[in-house]
Structure formats: C-alpha cells, structure tokens
A and B are shown apart, each in its own frame.
Chain A
Amino acid sequence: MRTTLALLLFATAAPAADPPANVADALKAITSVSKEGTGNEAAAAGWKVVTSAGGEALIPTLTAFDGASPTAANWLRSAVDAIVEKETKAGKKLPGIWAFVKDTKRSPEARRIAFELARAEDKAAADKLLPEMTDDPNLEIRKEAIAAKLPIVFGTGESVPARKAAIRQLFEQVRDKEQAESIAKVLTELGQKPDLTRHFGYVTEWQIVGPFDSPKGVGFAQAYPPEKGVDLAAKSPGKGGEITWKPTQSADTYGKVDLNAELGKHMDCVAYAHAVIVSDKEMPVEIRAASPNSIHIYLNGKKLFQREEYHHGSVMDQHTGKGTLKAGKNEVLIKLVQNNQTEKWAQSWDFSARVCDWSGGALPVKQEVVRDGKTQVVDLGAIRETPKKEGK
C-alpha cells in the first residue's frame, strides 16, 4: 500500500517541459532514424544541436526516449552523455533530473539513466529514494531497490508476520532470477513456501510429439503436421515409425523438459510441445523460452519467433516471442529442432518455456490440461504440487 502510494505520487510528479523549437526539431530528426542508416545525416546534425543546447536539452532528450526505437534511443543515450559531460565540466547542476526519475510514465530506460545521474549528483538522496522503488518499471532500478529494501525489512522492529509479509511482497515484485532465488531461500527459512515456477509463469505440463525426421536439418524450415493445426489424437509418420502426442510433466523448477528422455535419443529430428493457456481477457504476452536447439514459438497458429542456432548454450529467456492472448483458450506451440552434431556437448535436446508479461512476471492465466482422461483448468506450474509418479 505504502509503495503504491509512493508510486502514485511519483507518477504525477513531473510534467515534461516543452523544449526550445530548434531542440524539438533536432530530437525529431534523431527519433526519425530507421533501418540501415536511413536518416543518419539529419540525426547527426540534430545530435549536435541537442548537445550544444546543454542543460536545457537534457530533460527533452530523456523525454524523447518515449516510444523511440532501440536505434533512436542509442542516439539519444549518447547525447545525454555529451550534455552531462559538458554541464558537469562547467560545474552546473542537472535541471529537472530528480522529477524525471520520479515520473514513472516516462521511458524506463530514460529513467534509469536519470537515476544514475541523480545518484551521481546526490548519493544520499538516491539511497533514500531507492527502497521505495521496488516495483519500478525499470528492472535495473527494481533490482537495486529490492536489494536496498531487504536489509531495511530485516532491520525493522516489526513483528515476524509483518516482516514475512514485507519479504513476500518483495518476492512478488522481484524479476531477476538470482535475486528471486535468494528471496525464496529467505522465505523458505521463515517457513513459507515460495514457488519460483509459478512466480515466473513456467509451463510444466505439455503435450509433446516427435521425433519427426529432419535429414540435414531441413526440419527447421519444413512445416510438419502440428504446424498446420494441432490434433492431439492424430497419428503422424515419424522418424522410425508412427508417432502420437503424449503428455509430459516437468518437475524442474524452471520447467525444463528433456526430450531425449521423453522421446528417446535421436539426431536430425524435430519435436513439438503444445500447451493451452486460458486467459480471462485479451492481454499482451511474452512467451520466453530456453533451449540449446533451434526453435520456433507459435501462439494461436501465429509464429512469434524463430531462431536457427544449435548448442550455443541454454539460458533463461534467451528466446522471446511477443504476442497477444485472447480471452479464452490460447494454443502455445514450441518446435524444437535437433541437428546431427557428434560432440558430447551437442547431444542435448531440451527446452523450457514460460508465459509472462513485459517485465517477466507471471500473468494471471491458467492452463487447460488433461489428467486421468479429464480436462481440467489449473494454475501454471501446478504439477509441482503433485510429485511425478515413479517411472512415468
């Protein structure tokens, strides 16, 4: 509640001032850059206008991050550096920087820059502000804020239940994997049952099918039957015989499914994993996956992402597909392609995937699964409450 009030206060703190006309035109030139260097000449001229204007161009430049492309944002980023360098050498303070930090409507990236500048100007004030930013839209600020807040929570004279509640709230807000794990450990020591799988929105129940034959890696570009529509009762020609969909469950905290274990050890092959996500309403979604294999991510038949790269590591969120969940049932389909490398480190065929919002936080969605022949709607990651049966 306190944090919410603070953020509401922040959100109304700083109306953006109109920049001088020449700076506004220059910023427009910068934010108009597009692919393959289009607009570079005008942007370079604009960059000089903006940086020559000094301190009065700082907040307009940070404000111009709103809606800017990643390319344009980097033009702006370097302009901020040049302005600050010039103002700092002249011994001037940076106007409006604190109000900009507190204005959570602004670009998270620009606010991060502003926060660093504010901290360089007055570290004590920044340290005081930071613990109130544990739900900040900028995830770097959020991570630092949670790290700053934790010792404060422990240091209070509050009752044990109040401290538990405060740490629980931090757990809900955390998005960084290592930080989430360390807070989960604290909660566990306090007798709580934090669930990292649910926290991150991992899908732990899938229907999988494979292996489809993919000689010389052709399967990455080839559409097998599941890409034309998923029929869980269908039988398909597979590598070495007929294949059918089968349910699988992952007991791994981060939802890892080992396809070698589930489908047998194969090379030059393709597998699919299918899940039905149930949403109360339409909402933006990110389907984030990790796999050492080549991958496609589909949502409701639309391809959101593909990457053809093999055995160069598997890390959380290395692949992200952005889309929109519709109200009701949504079909998530992941295609995993294994190649034919012979090295020992190139034998893995696995994946994990989660359904989350822009920040990496779990969405308020459920999953439709079939258990013991009955269709049920359960929480994502719910299987972890029912340990895997021996030999399944």
Chain B
Amino acid sequence: MRGFFVLTLSLSLSLSLRAADWPQFRGPNGAGTSPETNLPTGFTADAGLRWKVPLPARGLSCPVVVGGRVFITCSGGNKDSRLHVLAFDAGTGAKLWHRQFAATGNTNCHPKTCMAAPTPVADANGVYALFATGDLAAIDNDGNLRWYRSLVEDYPAITNQVGMAASPVLANGKVIVPMDNNGDSFLAAIDAKTGKNVWKVDRPRDINWTTPVIRGTGKDAEVLFQAGKEVTVYAADTGEKKAGIPGSGTIPSPTLADDLLLASGRGGLVAFRYKDGKPEEAWKSTKLAAGTASPVVYQGRVYAANSSGLVVCGDAKTGNTLWQERIDGPFSASPVAADGKLYVLNEKGKLTVLKLDSSEGTEVLGTGDMKEEGLATPAISGGAIFLRGEKSLFCVGPKLDK
C-alpha cells in the first residue's frame, strides 16, 4: 500500500514538472489564461474526473496550483470563525496537510460570501493565505507555518461588514495585500520571508473587491489596483504612487494582457493600451460589461460573462462585439481560457466549455455539473481543471497512468 502511495506520488510529482502553475486568483498575474494543452471538455459523475475530495467548510476562494500541490482555503464553524488552509496532491487528490486558525477579525458578511473569499497566492516556497477577517498565514509546502499576521490586531479599525474578497498577489518577494475597507484602508507589501511590512500606503476608505495585477518586473514592477475612482499605480518596491488611470469599478478585477489593460466599471468595460509606458484609452464597450466575473483576454479576443448568463466575445483591438452566446448563468466565477477553450462555471455549479477560435461564433464542447454551488473561478494546471464547489474540490481531467 505504501509502495503504491509512493509510486502515485512520484507520478504526480513528475506530472507537476510538466504542469503550468496557477499560482493566484485567475492564474498567472490574474490573466485567467494558461498555456496548458489537451485539456478536458467536461465531465460526468462516472467519467472525466481525476478525483474529487471533500472540503471541511465553505469558501469562495479559488484553488491555486504550484509545484503539483493544490492549495485552498475554507471557513466555517461558529459564526464562520474557523479558518482552514489545506494542501492536496494535484495528481492524486491526497490531502498533504491541513492547518486551522481562529478568525481574529469581524466575521459579519453578506450571506452569499464567507471568510474564505480571498484566493491564496503561492510560490515555490509555499502558500500565502489571506482571509476576509484580515488573518494572513504563510505556510511552506510541508505545512510548516512560516509566519502569521492578524491584520486586525495590527490595525483594529479595519472594517467591512459586507465581507472582503480581494486577493493577495506576489511581486518581487513581497505579498501585496489589498485591504480596502471602511476603516483603516490600505495596500501593503509584506516581506514574503518574514511577514513584516515593507511598505503600507493609505487607501480611500471604501469597500472594494478587486485584486491587483502586476505590470513589469524587477525595479520597474508596478502594482495596479483598481477601486471606485481609478486604477492606482504603485511602485511594487516602495509603494510610491506613480499614476492614476480613470476607472470606476470595485467588483470585477482588472485584466492585463501584454500592453492591454481592461478595467470594468459601471459604464462597461474600458480598455487602455500602453504606449511609451503610458496607458491611453483605446475603447469602451457596454456589451462587454460584467456583473461579478472579471474579463479574460485570449488570442486577441476579450471574453466576458455577465450576470444574466450571456458570454460575450469582443475584438481586443477595437472592443467590437464578435459574438455572444447564452448559456446557463448566472456567473460569479470568472471565465478562464486555455487550449482553445473557455471554461465558464455558473453559480449552480455547472461548467460549460466553449470552443474558442477565430470564427464568428462558438459552440459548446461539453459540460460538467458539480451539483454544488459554484462561486469560485476554476484553476488550470497539469492537464486538468480544478473546480471548487461548496463542499468538494474537483479535479477534472484524465486519471494518472499507474
């Protein structure tokens, strides 16, 4: 039995060497795309699932996959005060470790959300898990606690009783923590090794659910953080404000694809094209407006899934609508794209896979149904799609060869 486990683990680890990581909310730099190929087109209860494992509690956070490990957070228990971080083997679904924390911040929130709403971010050293309570834990790949912060103990005026959901990202060895709220509102860079502040800048006192994106690398790296009035650009190393790009959205996160920045807001989707290092407005589209889901750019096209169940495709150069397809909605999870396919998960847990190519339309390649609430954006890695239901974590893909 032990030999079988070792064999399976080594198979899954060797698989991980070939797998593209999906390290944060909406994958690499929040773009919602992956270079993975040979991806599945659906699943049933009997076929197409590599594995399915139970989760200890609810969550809206997405699974992230790095180095063959799937990390996920959950929250539950009395007044949603029990916080969980788990790691699974991406190949087998075997639970590697499970760590728990007590919520140190407020747990009041809208009933649709919960304390495990922010998606964790991972790198080769492990995972950084932020909760809506302001609890932030760094755990290595073997489950050892590297550091932990109670941001509400540090900054007691933090408050958002609707529930926070913005996710942390990584830049230059720092965990960038978005903490827009009605009280002590800030964006902070926390040293990924020590858990101490590198910088912390004040932010407008308002609630905001968007996740920042990182533009550039090294000393030129910038944090682009969208809120109600603008996409604010900060130097990743210092927190210095460099610019403000007009924008007015607090729910869908911005998308950066090469030199194209998409910012969703009340007026629809606004595209900015970077020219000589400066963003210039390129186009606006009301048809590509989304309710909750963030847009994705894939092979020169923009895809948006709105709250009524409409998936809209637009030209990334012009914003002109190319096609639209009505499928089962509504959507809270953002669509993700790879391998010529768009994966769209609705709130009832039904996954629809649409064909993406250069034609003026699409077709449904397949579907799958978790038969559980589906509010978390899927992850793509190792030839599989990782779906998070209310009670279970699903890995959609071919089973490993033994």
Contacts and interface: CB of A to CB of B under 8 A. Distances in A.
A36 to B, nearest CB: 5
A75 B147 CA distance: 8
A44 interface: yes
Interface string A110-146: 0000000000000000000000000000011001000
Interface stretch (A2-10, A269-277, A310-318): A310-318
B108 A315 contact: yes
Contacts of A313: 108, 110, 161-162
Interface stretch (B15-23, B95-103, B336-344): B95-103
B98 A37 contact: no
B197 A36 contact: yes
Given A69-B153, A74-B150, A85 B98 contact: yes
Nearest to A84: B98
Contacts of B153: 35, 69-71
B148 interface: yes
A79 interface: yes
A-side interface mostly: helix
Interface string A286-310: 0000000000000000000001111
B162 A81 contact: no
Contacts, number: 107
Given A78-B101, A318-B161, A40 B194 contact: yes
Among A74, A75, A313, A318, the one with the most B-chain Cβ atoms within 10 Å of its Cβ is: A74
27 contacts: A33-B148, A37-B191, A37-B195, A40-B194, A44-B147, A70-B153, A71-B104, A71-B150, A73-B102, A74-B101, A74-B148, A75-B148, A82-B143, A82-B144, A82-B145, A85-B98, A143-B78, A308-B157, A309-B161, A309-B183, A310-B182, A312-B162, A312-B182, A313-B110, A313-B162, A318-B106, A318-B161
Contacts of A70: 102, 104, 150, 153
Interface in B116-137: 135, 137
Nearest to A292: B161
Interface string B79-106: 0000000000000000001111110101
A35 B145 contact: no
Contacts of B106: 318
B125 to A, nearest CB: 12
A28 interface: no
A173 interface: no
A44 B146 contact: yes
Contact of B154 (A36, A40, A139, A310): A36
Contacts of A139: 78
B144 A48 contact: yes
Interface in A160-182: none
B145 A47 contact: yes
Contacts of B190: 37
A78 B104 contact: no
The interface centre, meaning the residue of B99, B139, B162 with most chain A CB atoms within 10 A of its CB, is: B99
Given A36-B154, A44-B144, A69-B153, 5 more contacts: A77-B100, A77-B102, A308-B182, A313-B161, A313-B162
A44 B104 contact: no
Contacts of A308: 157, 159, 182-183, 205
Contacts of B159: 307-309
B315 to A, nearest CB: 36
B147 A81 contact: no
B196 A36 contact: yes
A368 interface: no
Interface of B: 77-78, 97-102, 104, 106, 108, 110, 135, 137, 139, 143-150, 153-154, 157, 159-162, 182-183, 190-191, 194-197, 205, 207
B148 A318 contact: no
A41 interface: yes
A63 interface: no
Contacts of B77: 140
B97 A85 contact: yes
Closest 10 CB pairs of A and B: A312-B161, A37-B196, A309-B182, A70-B104, A37-B195, A40-B147, A78-B99, A71-B150, A74-B101, A40-B195
Interface residues of A, number: 36
A79 B100 CA distance: 9
Contacts of B160: 309, 312
Contacts of A79: 145
A78 B162 contact: no
A48 B148 CA distance: 14
B175 to A, nearest CB: 11
B148 A71 contact: yes
B145 A37 contact: no
Nearest to B147: A40
A61 interface: no
Interface in A44-71: 44, 47-48, 51, 69-71
B239 to A, nearest CB: 15
A37 B194 contact: yes
A48 to B, nearest CB: 6
Nearest to B99: A78
Contacts of A85: 97-98, 143
Nearest to A143: B78
Contacts of B149: 36-37, 71
Interface string A314-340: 010010000000000000000000000
Contacts of A78: 99-101, 137, 139, 145, 148
A379 interface: no
A37 B161 contact: no
- Chain A CB count within 10 A is highest, among B182, B197, B205, for B182
Given A81-B99, A308-B182, A309-B159, A35 B154 contact: yes
A71 B110 CA distance: 26
A109 interface: yes
Contacts of B196: 36-38, 40
A90 B190 CA distance: 36
A37 B197 contact: yes
A82 B99 contact: yes
Interface string A25-41: 00000000101111011
A51 B99 CA distance: 13
A265 B144 CA distance: 55
B149 to A, nearest CB: 6
